[in-house]
């Protein structure tokens, strides 16, 4: 899924996919926790926000890890990549892959 920025608001940034499904990305203010997310993602349904997942920093710049439980309670992992200064966001199913290092000889 590829989303793009729809509108900036005081709380965060609204993004949407091709169908313009509105999501809201908000910053997290929980520096006191060891493994807290950097952002969290909400979906807007009927004018109300519903929490989807936290976005956790990875060792790659602008790449975050997210997860969501399916109907059986099993975690499904996603890779969330911010592109073009956050104006485009891609969400791919699967864990974040390690960045390959180029070795020159």
Answer whether residue 98 is part of any domain: no
pLDDT confidence of 65, banded at 50, 70, 90? very high
More confident residue, 17 or 76: 76
Q: Which residue has the tokens 């060792």?
A: 59
pLDDT for residue 72 is more than 80:
yes
Answer whether residue 35 is part of any domain: yes
- Cα–Cα nearest to 28, from 67, 10, 54: 54
- Cα–Cα nearest to 24, from 45, 10, 5, 41: 41
Instruction: Please give the residue range of the domain that contains residue 61.
Output: 2-93
Answer whether residue 15 is part of any domain: yes
Q: Is the pTM of this model over 0.75?
A: no
pLDDT confidence of 12, banded at 50, 70, 90? confident
Answer whether residue 99 is part of any domain: no
Give how many domains the chain has, as a whole number: 1
Q: What pLDDT was estimated at residue 19?
A: 57
């Amino acid at each position: 899924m590829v989303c793009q920025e729809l509108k900036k608001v005081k709380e965060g940034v609204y993004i949407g996919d091709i169908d313009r499904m509105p999501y809201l990305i908000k910053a997290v203010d929980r520096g006191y926790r060891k493994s807290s997310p950097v952002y969290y993602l909400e979906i807007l349904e009927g004018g109300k926000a519903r929490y989807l997942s936290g976005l956790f920093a990875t060792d790659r710049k602008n790449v975050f890890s997210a997860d969501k439980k399916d109907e059986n309670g099993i975690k499904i992992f996603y890779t969330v990549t911010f592109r073009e200064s956050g104006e485009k966001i891609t969400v791919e199913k699967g864990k974040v892959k390690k960045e390959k290092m180029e070795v020159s000889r």
